[in-house]
Structure 1
Amino acid sequence: MGEVRKLQKKLRQIENLEIKITLNPEERLKISSKAELRSRLAELQLQLSGPQQTLGIVGDGKKEKMKRQVEDAPEALPSQMPPASKILKGEQKSRAHATAARQREAGGGEAIGRQQETIDGAKVSDRCRDESEVCPGGTDPDREQELQQEDVGFKSLRASWEKAKFRLRVLEGHNDIVTCVVAVDNLVVSGSRDTTVKVWHVPTATEHKNLGGHSGGVTCLSAPPPEYCKRLARTLSLSSEERFILSGSADCCVKIWALSIGQCVKSIYTFNAVTALCFVPEEDGYIITGSDGGKVQAWNWHTFENCQSINAHQEAVTSIQSQGPLVFSGSAEGGVSVWENRCWERDPLRLLHHWSGQVTRCGGEPGGRLTLSPRGDRVFLAYGRAWLKILHWRTGMVSRLTNHSSVSGVTDCVHQTAGLLIGSCYDLANGESTLNLFSLPQCRYLSSLTWGDAPRILCFAAWLTGSGDHRWVTGGRDLVVWEQLPGSGKKRGDVTARRDSRLDGTLLESEGDTEDDEETDDYEDNGDEEKERQSIQQSSSGGWFRCVLQ
């Protein structure tokens, strides 16, 4: 297993190198070895999977069988896991105290105080059980009936997705990696490392506007709701139907673009390279930005003045999302912060919870990037692993959802749309890119979508057409529009859903004290690989930001 882990780490590092703009001869040589490394990894994985298929035939006794299961399985099978109720009992308390103890050892007084606040919250919530837990005293008839109805609904949804078909169209125009996408009406807006923001007309798959103005790579986009666009349009004497887009860039600027006229109407200089942003539609409206140094800032939509600056994270802020008055920020070191927007003129954001990478079990990799998607009391996290993490942000409980059939899978982004949870997955071993679909709120696996030579998907946006069909856009090396087709009619090249039987038994698993999901990063590299990590870390100002925009 040691060589497998080593190869997986090498391939992950090569993938990070490939998205740099400039490469030295040594880096080019490493990239040229990718095909050979993939071939060797596939060979080893095939050898490891062999004995698992012949258990009970080769070898004698229970001891040999158990040994193979431990060595060959990437993680414990759901049937081997203890019941969720047993895992959950007392875990909040022990995890919170352990985290507080680690922070006490590091001498972080202020962080301890904040963590103690969450410990107290965990104690209170420990008296309550999760809604899905069955009462140990017996079976609740109402709950049993509800579960049966959910199961019928899930089977119907799964059957419909088994017949799903999508037609893909590539939008050509960017000359570098697409880092962010957002949908506005019949338009798709994309930002790229090539410093441009492009507007695309989806029905005709043509470029509508080319918004050039940033002097650095574009890292993030956000679309304010129509009512906030109308307010700004009135102050600028533009049409009340005008739509605006926010873009953040490595040039330390947030630009506000009027889509119909294709012009920048406002530019905000933030003094920091902008790596994430979102619009919060509360009161006058707020723009929340994250920087490559871990700073979170709030800007008033009415005056465009800075209302607050907080040193919130240790490394680059890689994802910011809002949910009502709540704002969620995630960083390259794996930390997640939850903020309440009090809609004050000064200092509107108040920290509710902060969960470090030690709690989320994300982070720890050079060039890492955490993306998040909140839903109620849960936050779905993607951080370059074969799993999606689910953080219960009020208590710090973490569970995980398998998003790939082997540990060589890399999850780059997670998105919710119309009752679906969608996770992208890229296989380091063979270069295959996949979108996995799960039902909400149960998080049960539905189907997968992929096609030959599919590129790695780094960003995702989705909406429904007037007829209720899905339209998606994915970005990475290619910008692709996905259009769901009616039941009949199919052309060559159309993508059809398929089921990965290895994900069929996927269940939500509560994380214990093991580090199974980090095992591919525990292997000690040789000196050359250590130098490579250090060169990535020192090449610019912040982890994920370095890899994407150098």
Structure 2
Amino acid sequence: MGEVRKLQKKLRQIENLEIKISLTPEERAKISRKAELRSRLAELQLQLSGLQQTLGIVGDGKKEKMKRQVEDAPGALPSQTPPASKILKGEEESKTQAMPLPAARQRETGGEPEIGRQRERTEQAKVSHHCRSPDTSVSGDCPDFDEEQQLRQEEAEFTSLKASWEKAKFRLRLLKGHNDIVTCVVAIDNLVVTGSRDTTVKVWHVPTATEQKNLGGHTGGVTCLSAPPPEFCKRLAGSLSLSGKERFILSGSADCYVKIWALNIGQCVKSIYTFNAVTALCFVPEEDGYIITGSDGGKVQAWSWHSFENCQSINAHQEAVTSIQSQGPLVFSGSAEGGVSVWENRCSNRDPLRLLYHWSGQVTGCGGGPDGRLTLSPRGDRVFLAYGRAWLKILHWRTGMTSRLTNHSSITGVTDCVHQTGGLLIGPCYDLANGESTLNLFSLPECRYLTSLTWPDAPRILCFAAWTTGSGVHRWVTGGWDVIVWEQLPRSGKQRGDVTAKSDSRLDSCSLESEGDTEDDDETDDYEDEDNNDEGKDSRSDGAEERGSGSWLRCVLQ
């Protein structure tokens, strides 16, 4: 078992090396051993599968045992901070709130104290009931009967939805043009915009799967993209004497610039120098509009869409800001060390962001070092978190309570991003042990597993975008080593899809586990590559110098 874990650790290190641009001869030698290590791991797994059912080992899929992992994390102190004025429609505000711990105090204390972890020991039906939106109401003279009838109706609807997605067909088209990893994708109408480590931003015409524009201007790898809504584009176009139909895209780069591109004319119309490598950004469509950026050093900054001047700079996180998303007037930032901050945009020309909550990696359960890459997707009072593990975390950002949603049946699975579209939660997952990649679909808001989509030679998915056409057809874009457009095909048509939909019975299970039952998932990374023991010791002893700010960006863009 120990050797299995060491092999898993080595494969994880190799996969992380492969996303670097510059490799030393020693690193190239390690990468060349990947096939050999996978073969040895498969042999050990086969041996173990004959002796016992071992949680977290990928062997014969039919013999594996998998448990759905859903656990509660520490609670938090009562809040004295009023909630934000607006949240996503359809989600009700939580009645229980928590007090935010300032970032400075977080650094002094090392994170939130643990206050009594609760164990969920309900049955599967109760899990579904617990996950439903709190606005579900029951009426009638016989509440118990009405509730049971409603549960039956919801179960029938879920069964129908699951059957529909198990028969889904997609046509895949490869977009060729980038010569390095694609780090970010955005969809705008019939266009897809991609940013890459090759320093370019490319615009693609989806119906024809052709490159429309090549936007060169950054001198460093492009790390993030964001698309302002049409009304804000029209306002900027008017100030620049451009067509009112002009659409703009924002790009952030390791060269410390945020650039604003006019897609129709294919030119950069504005450059903002941030003094820091830009690792995340989003557009907040409130009042005159704001650009929110995150830096490699953990800084969060706000910029006016009207004047493009800096409104605020905050040392918000200890490590690189790896994800920023907005939801109404709220802004969510996630960092490499696993921390999540929630901000309220007060729509001011000076210091518009006010910290509502800050949850450390200890609370979110996404800690593990500054080399991590947390991505987040907010929905009402919940935030879905992906942190390169076999699971997704669901953070209730007002209370600090968390749940774990299994996204792969083995600890060798890694989830690099998470996305919502319509009533779907999509969790891409890549298996380090065998190189297989899948898209796992869950229903919202219940977070119940629907099906898994895969295709031959599927690459690791680092970023994701989705939209729905006027006729209700799903179109998705996945980015990583390849950029692939997914177009949903009618089920009644004769055309065969390029994607295989399969139901993973192990993910279909919804049994609950206590925290102690899932320790293997976190312990894997504790095993050092024996070829790197000295290097690992030096890294731990040097502390901030070796693992300080900038480590995540060096890992991705070095």
TM-score where L is the length of structure 1? 0.85
Partners of 2:131 and 2:446 within 8 A in 1:
no
Give the CA RMSD over aligned residues.
3.4
Distance 2:393 2:64 in 1: 16
Matches within 5 A, 1:427-466: 427-466=431-470
Tell me what 1:291 maps to: 295
Q: Does 1:544 align with 2:549?
A: no
Tell me what 1:149 maps to: 153
Instruction: Give the helix-richer structure, 1 or 2.
Output: 1
Higher mean displacement: 219-228 or 365-374: 365-374
Q: Does 1:496 align with 2:500?
A: yes
Partners of 1:163 and 1:496 within 8 A in 2:
no
Which one of the candidate residues 346, 367, 391 is aligned to 2:395? 391
Q: Does 1:322 align with 2:312?
A: no
The Cα of 1:522 is off from its aligned counterpart by 2.6
Which one of the candidate residues 333, 339, 343 is aligned to 2:343? 339
Tell me what 1:382 maps to: 386
The Cα of 1:531 is off from its aligned counterpart by 1.3
Tell me what 1:45 maps to: 45
Distance 1:107 1:314 in 2: 9
Q: Deviations over 1:205-224 (max 9, x none)?
A: 01010100101000000000
Tell me what 2:411 maps to: 407
SS of 1:92's partner is: coil
SS of 2:38's partner is: helix
Distance 2:392 2:296 in 1: 24
SS of 1:497's partner is: strand
Relative to structure 1, is the Cα distance of residues 2 and 181 closer, same or farther in structure 2, using a 3 angstrom cutoff? same
The aligned amino acid for 1:440 is L
Partners of 2:106 and 2:360 within 8 A in 1:
no
Partners of 1:158 and 1:446 within 8 A in 2:
yes
The Cα of 1:95 is off from its aligned counterpart by 13
Distance 1:112 1:365 in 2: 16
The Cα of 1:8 is off from its aligned counterpart by 1.2
**Matched-pair identity in %:** 77
SS of 2:75's partner is: helix
The Cα of 1:92 is off from its aligned counterpart by 1.9
Distance 2:490 2:21 in 1: 41
Relative to structure 1, is the Cα distance of residues 488 and 69 closer, same or farther in structure 2, using a 3 angstrom cutoff? closer
Q: Deviations over 1:53-79 (max 9, x none)?
A: 6xxxxxxxxxxxxxx77999999835x
Relative to structure 1, is the Cα distance of residues 115 and 2 closer, same or farther in structure 2, using a 3 angstrom cutoff? closer
Matches within 5 A, 1:71-150: 77=67, 92=75, 108=105, 140-150=144-154
The Cα of 1:513 is off from its aligned counterpart by 10
Tell me what 2:372 maps to: 368
The aligned amino acid for 1:34 is K
Partners of 2:187 and 2:193 within 8 A in 1:
yes
Distance 1:149 1:375 in 2: 24
Distance 2:104 2:204 in 1: 51
Distance 2:31 2:494 in 1: 38
The Cα of 1:395 is off from its aligned counterpart by 0.8
Aligned residues: 511
Give the gaps of 5 or more residues in structure 1: 54-67, 123-128
SS of 1:37's partner is: helix
Distance 1:189 1:506 in 2: 37
The Cα of 1:142 is off from its aligned counterpart by 3.8
Tell me what 2:85 maps to: none
The aligned amino acid for 2:75 is Q
Which one of the candidate residues 462, 475, 479 is aligned to 2:483? 479
Relative to structure 1, is the Cα distance of residues 373 and 463 closer, same or farther in structure 2, using a 3 angstrom cutoff? same
Q: Does 1:274 align with 2:278?
A: yes
Relative to structure 1, is the Cα distance of residues 335 and 27 closer, same or farther in structure 2, using a 3 angstrom cutoff? same
Q: Deviations over 1:394-425 (max 9, x none)?
A: 11111111111111101011000010000010
Distance 2:460 2:538 in 1: 25
Q: Deviations over 1:277-296 (max 9, x none)?
A: 00001111110000000000
Tell me what 1:312 maps to: 316
Relative to structure 1, is the Cα distance of residues 402 and 71 closer, same or farther in structure 2, using a 3 angstrom cutoff? closer
SS of 1:333's partner is: coil
SS of 2:502's partner is: coil
Distance 1:495 1:422 in 2: 15
Give the gaps of 5 or more residues in structure 2: 80-97, 119-128, 137-141
Relative to structure 1, is the Cα distance of residues 308 and 69 closer, same or farther in structure 2, using a 3 angstrom cutoff? closer
Distance 2:534 2:111 in 1: 35
The aligned amino acid for 1:15 is E
The Cα of 1:50 is off from its aligned counterpart by 2.8
Partners of 1:91 and 1:512 within 8 A in 2:
no
Relative to structure 1, is the Cα distance of residues 131 and 470 closer, same or farther in structure 2, using a 3 angstrom cutoff? closer
Relative to structure 1, is the Cα distance of residues 393 and 540 closer, same or farther in structure 2, using a 3 angstrom cutoff? closer
Distance 2:57 2:220 in 1: 47
The Cα of 1:233 is off from its aligned counterpart by 0.7
| Higher relative contact order (Cα pairs below 8 Å, separated by 6+ residues) | 2
Distance 1:541 1:351 in 2: 22
Q: Deviations over 1:175-220 (max 9, x none)?
A: 1100000000000000000000000000000101010010100000
Q: Deviations over 1:332-374 (max 9, x none)?
A: 1011111111111111111111111111111314631110001
Tell me what 1:160 maps to: 164
The aligned amino acid for 2:417 is C
Q: Does 1:416 align with 2:424?
A: no
The Cα of 1:488 is off from its aligned counterpart by 3.5
